[in-house]
Amino acid sequence: MAQGGYAIELRGISKAFGPVQANRDISVAVPKGTIHGIIGENGAGKSTLMSILYGFYRADSGEILINGTPTTIPDSQSAIRAGIGMVFQHFKLVQNFTVLENVILGAEEGAMLARSLSKARKVLGDLSREYELDVDPDAVIEDLSVGHQQRVEILKALYRQADILILDEPTGVLTPAEADHLFRILRGLRDQGKTVILITHKLREIMETTDNVSVMRRGTMVGTVKTAQTSPEELAELMVGRKVLLEVEKAPPTVGRTVLSVENLSVTDEHGVIRLKGVSFDIKAGEILGIAGVAGNGQSELLEALGGIARATGRVTLNGAELPLSGAGADGRSRRAAGIAHVPEDRQHLGLIMDFTAWENVAFGYHDAPEYQKNALFMDNDALRADTARKMERFDVRPPIPSLPAKSFSGGNQQKIVVAREIERHPDLLLIGQPTRGVDIGAIEFIHKQIVALRDAGKAILLVSVELDEIRSLSDRIAVMFDGRIMGFRDPETTDERE
- Judge whether 58 and 137 are in contact, CB under 8 Å: no
CA dihedral (203, 207, 209, 214) positive or negative: positive
Most confident residue range from 93-97, 246-250, 287-291? 287-291
Residue spans per domain, the chain: 6-240, 258-490
Over residues 423-450, the mean pLDDT reads: 88
Bridge partners, residue 10, by sequence: 28, 64
Burial of residue 246, with CB atoms counted within 10 A of its CB: 0-12 exposed, 13-18 middle, 19 or more buried: middle
Tens-place pLDDT, residues 271-280: 899 999 999 9
Written in H, E and C, the secondary structure of the chain is CCCCCEEEEEEEEEEEECCEEEEEEEEEEEECCCEEEEEECCCCCHHHHHHHHCCCCCCCEEEEEECCEECCCCCHHHHHHCCEEEECCCCCCCCCCEHHHHHHCCCCCCCCHHHHHHHHHHHHHHHHHHHCCCCCCCCEHHHCCHHHHHHHHHHHHHHCCCCEEEEECCCCCCCHHHHHHHHHHHHHHHHCCCEEEEECCCHHHHHHHCCEEEEEECCEEEEEEEHHHCCHHHHHHHHHCCCCCCCCCCCCCCCCCEEEEEEEEEEECCCCCEEEEEEEEEEECCEEEEEECCCCCCHHHHHHHHCCCCCCEEEEEECCEECCCCCCCCCHHHHHHHCEEEECCCHHHHHCCCCCEHHHHHHCCCCCCHHHECCCCCECHHHHHHHHHHHHHHCCCCCCCCCCEHHHCCHHHHHHHHHHHHHCCCCCEEEEECCCCCCCHHHHHHHHHHHHHHHHCCCEEEEECCCHHHHHHHCCEEEEEECCEEEEEECCCCCCCCC
**What pLDDT does 33 receive?**
96
CATH class of residue range 258-490? alpha beta
Q: Answer whether residue 339 shows pLDDT above 90.
A: yes
- Judge whether 261 and 248 are in contact, CB under 8 Å: no
**What pLDDT does 37 receive?**
97
Over residues 360-366, the mean pLDDT reads: 94
**What pLDDT does 246 receive?**
67
**What pLDDT does 386 receive?**
96
Residue 201 binned pLDDT confidence (cut-offs 50, 70, 90)? confident
**What pLDDT does 236 receive?**
85
User: Whole-angstrom Cα distance, residue 101 to residue 239?
Assistant: 40
- Phi then psi for residue 126, to 5 deg, are -65, -45
Alpha-carbon dihedral angle through residues 123, 127, 133, 134, given to the nearest 10 degrees: 50
pLDDT > 70 fraction of the chain, expressed in percent and rounded: 96
- Phi then psi for residue 324, to 5 deg, are -65, 140
CA 25 to chain centre: 28
Most confident residue range from 156-170, 198-212, 308-322? 308-322
Written in H, E and C, the secondary structure of 116-175 is HHHHHHHHHHHHHHHHCCCCCCCCEHHHCCHHHHHHHHHHHHHHCCCCEEEEECCCCCCC
CATH topology of domain 6-240: Rossmann fold (3.40.50)
For residue 264, give every residue at least 6 positions away whose Cβ sits within 8 Å of its Cβ, in sequence order, or none. Answer: 278, 279, 280, 313, 314, 315
Over residues 192-210, the mean pLDDT reads: 91
**What pLDDT does 28 receive?**
96
One-letter amino acid for residue 243 of the chain: K
Q: Answer whether residue 1 shows pLDDT above 50.
A: no
**What pLDDT does 499 receive?**
65
pLDDT > 90 fraction of the chain, expressed in percent and rounded: 57
Closest CA relative to residue 193, chosen from 170, 161, 168: 161
Q: Answer whether residue 129 shows pLDDT above 90.
A: no
Query: Between these two residues, 199 and 1, which has the higher pLDDT value?
Result: 199
Over residues 69-91, the mean pLDDT reads: 90
Q: Answer whether residue 253 shows pLDDT above 80.
A: yes
Closest CA relative to residue 359, chosen from 380, 340, 334: 380
Taking the chain, what is the end-to-end CA distance rounded to the nearest angstrom? 36
Average pLDDT, whole number, for the chain?
A: 90
**What pLDDT does 303 receive?**
96
- Judge whether 276 and 447 are in contact, CB under 8 Å: no
Tens-place pLDDT, residues 378-415: 889 999 999 999 999 998 898 899 999 999 887 788 99
Domain 258-490 in the same topology as domain 6-240: yes
- Judge whether 283 and 462 are in contact, CB under 8 Å: yes
Q: Answer whether residue 147 shows pLDDT above 90.
A: no
| b/e sequence 424-447, b meaning 16+ C-beta within 10 Å | beebbbbbbbbbbbbbbbbbbbbb
User: Whole-angstrom Cα distance, residue 429 to residue 257?
Assistant: 13
One-letter amino acid for residue 41 of the chain: E
Q: Model-level pTM greater than 0.85?
A: no
Residue 329 binned pLDDT confidence (cut-offs 50, 70, 90)? confident
**What pLDDT does 2 receive?**
47
Most confident residue range from 75-89, 122-136, 174-188, 470-484? 470-484
Query: Between these two residues, 142 and 23, which has the higher pLDDT value?
Result: 23
